[in-house]
């Protein structure tokens, strides 16, 4: 089965709130959730997974407030929430007046056949109840988890969910975070074949550092819906990163409504969430090496990078050590408005390299200014 064609548009489920609260016990207040929802609306996110209402009545109240607010403001974004795939949780979800109902289903390889049949039959009753109560709600069921579920059982569940129950979205999480990109791609291609008209969603965990790559490969292989979060916050090592995945897909012709080009707004969203993480855990997630938003993405050291056409940064910066070349030194001096003699550029470069070797580190701006000044 070939990969799904490019030049298509996918939907985004932003799980920053719900999945994010599984990151080191993070808790979002109602005000913080409302600001996150506003960011998501401005950025063109399709669905906000706003919480887990069955966890606590106050949690349900916050989700309900968000759903009502989105309706009152005529937001385009749809508000969803997650619950277990049985009747008590379904009723709690419906009472919050959310647009979309997301359920997670646990079926184990070790479950007896009679137990599996009982679980699936019970799910059918729940789905019928949701449809009769809220006909306009999109229903998503997450099959936990594709990385550890045996192929025969996974195929059986996919066929039941998509062909018999005809749910709107089949969510396939790599909940354990153990899959590689090629494995995800193979599974998604197969699931798309079995799912028929049901949309397939991808949700990847980051235990082995593959979440964003797996998310990209899942979409490239045909998944219709992407589940990610800001900075990839989520259970354990988190999930795929929203901006990174959307950006990489867009570069390949697979687009979404997410306005990834508005870097000022995206950066504001990421900084807002990161400040909450920093306040509650003591350590933020935006480090110098954070893709797209870390300071290091702007920097170059080796001379081969002096033309500034590498990486994603629009405004490169340069650090000078023994690896610098003539062109990079010139770019550095121009960038920092240090007046120099072009005729002595080779000499300046050698002096900078020598000083770096002697000091065992890169040179500071004042040291470079002193070298240039000493050469007249």
CA–CA gap between residue 373 and residue 376 (Å, rounded)? 5
Paired tokens of 59 = 């949690």
Q: Beta partners for 8? A: 254
- The answer to whether residue 238 scores a pLDDT higher than 80 is yes
Give residue-wise pLDDT tens across range 86-143: 999 999 999 999 999 999 999 988 999 999 999 999 999 999 999 999 999 999 999 8
CA distance 363 to 359: 8
Those residues whose C-beta lies under 8 Å from the C-beta of residue 55, and which sit 6 or more positions away, are none
Domain with CATH 3.20.20.70 in the chain: 8-281
Q: Mean pLDDT across the stretch 171-191?
A: 97
Contact 257/13 with Cβ under 8 angstroms?
A: no
Q: Is the pLDDT of residue 2 over 70?
A: no
- Cβ atoms of 206 and 232 within 8 Å: the answer is yes
pLDDT of residue 100: 97
Instruction: Determine the Cα–Cα distance for residues 277 and 233; give it in Å rounded to an integer.
Output: 9
Give the model's pLDDT for residue 316.
79
- How far lies 349's CA from each of 96, 369, 375, in Å? 66, 12, 12
3-state helix vs strand vs coil in the chain, percent to 5: 50, 15, 35
Say what percent of the chain tops pLDDT 90. 86
- Which DSSP category does 205 fall into? B
Q: What is the pLDDT of residue 1?
A: 47
pLDDT of residue 303: 63
pLDDT tens for 244-277 read 999 999 999 999 999 999 999 999 999 999 999 9
Cα angle value 56/57/60 (rounded, 5°): 90
Tens of pLDDT, residues 324-361: 999 999 999 999 999 999 999 999 999 999 999 999 99
- What pLDDT is stored for residue 3 in this prediction? 53
Report the half-sphere exposure of 368 (CA within 13 A, side-chain side). Answer: 29
Find the helix or strand (DSSP H, E) in which 117 lies: helix 113-133
How is residue 218 written in tokens? 């899942």
pLDDT given at position 305: 64
Please state, in angstroms and rounded to a whole number, the distance separating the CA atoms of residues 348 and 351: 5
Say if pTM beats, i.e. exceeds, 0.85.
Answer: yes
* 215 in Cβ contact with 240 (< 8 Å): yes
Collapse the DSSP code of 138 into the 3-class scheme (helix H, G, I; strand E, B; otherwise coil) and give the result.
Answer: coil
For residues 201 and 326, give the distance between their C-alpha atoms in angstroms, rounded to a whole number. Answer: 50
Is the pLDDT at 308 greater than 60, yes or no? no
Q: Which fold has domain 8-281?
A: TIM Barrel (3.20.20)
């Amino acid at each position: 089965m070939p990969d799904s064609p490019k030049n298509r548009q996918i939907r985004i489920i932003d799980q920053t709130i719900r999945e994010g609260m599984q990151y080191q016990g993070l808790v979002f207040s109602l005000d913080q959730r409302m600001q996150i929802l506003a960011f998501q609306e401005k950025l063109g996110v399709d669905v906000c997974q706003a919480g887990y209402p069955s966890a606590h009545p106050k949690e349900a109240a916050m989700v309900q407030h968000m759903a009502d607010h989105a309706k009152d403001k005529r937001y385009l974004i749809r508000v969803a929430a997650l619950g277990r795939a049985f009747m008590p949780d379904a009723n709690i979800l419906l009472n919050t007046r959310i647009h979309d109902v997301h359920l997670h289903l646990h079926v184990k390889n070790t479950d007896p056949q009679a137990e599996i049949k009982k679980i699936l039959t019970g799910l059918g009753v729940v789905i019928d109840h949701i449809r009769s109560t809220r006909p306009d709600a999109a229903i998503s069921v997450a099959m936990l988890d594709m990385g550890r579920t045996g192929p025969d059982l996974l195929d059986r569940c996919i066929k039941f969910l998509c062909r018999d129950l005809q749910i709107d979205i089949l969510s396939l999480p790599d909940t354990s975070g153990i899959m590689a990109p090629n494995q995800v791609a193979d599974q998604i291609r197969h699931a798309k074949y079995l799912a028929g008209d049901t949309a397939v969603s991808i949700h990847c965990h980051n235990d082995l550092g593959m979440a964003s790559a797996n998310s990209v490969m899942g979409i490239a292989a045909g998944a219709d819906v992407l589940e990610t979060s800001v900075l990839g916050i989520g259970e354990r090592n988190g999930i795929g990163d929203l901006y990174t995945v959307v950006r990489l897909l867009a570069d390949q012709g697979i687009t979404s409504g997410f306005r990834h080009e508005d870097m000022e707004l995206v950066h504001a969203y990421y900084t807002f969430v990161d400040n909450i993480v920093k306040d509650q855990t003591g350590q933020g997630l935006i480090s110098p090496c954070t893709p797209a938003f870390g300071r290091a993405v702007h920097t170059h050291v080796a001379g081969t990078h002096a033309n500034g056409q590498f990486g994603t940064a629009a405004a490169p910066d340069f650090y000078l050590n023994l690896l610098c070349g003539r062109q990079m030194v010139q770019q550095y001096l121009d960038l920092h408005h240090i007046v120099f003699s072009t005729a002595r550029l080779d000499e300046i470069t050698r002096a900078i390299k020598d000083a770096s070797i002697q000091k065992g580190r890169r040179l500071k701006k004042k040291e470079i200014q002193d070298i240039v000044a000493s050469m007249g």
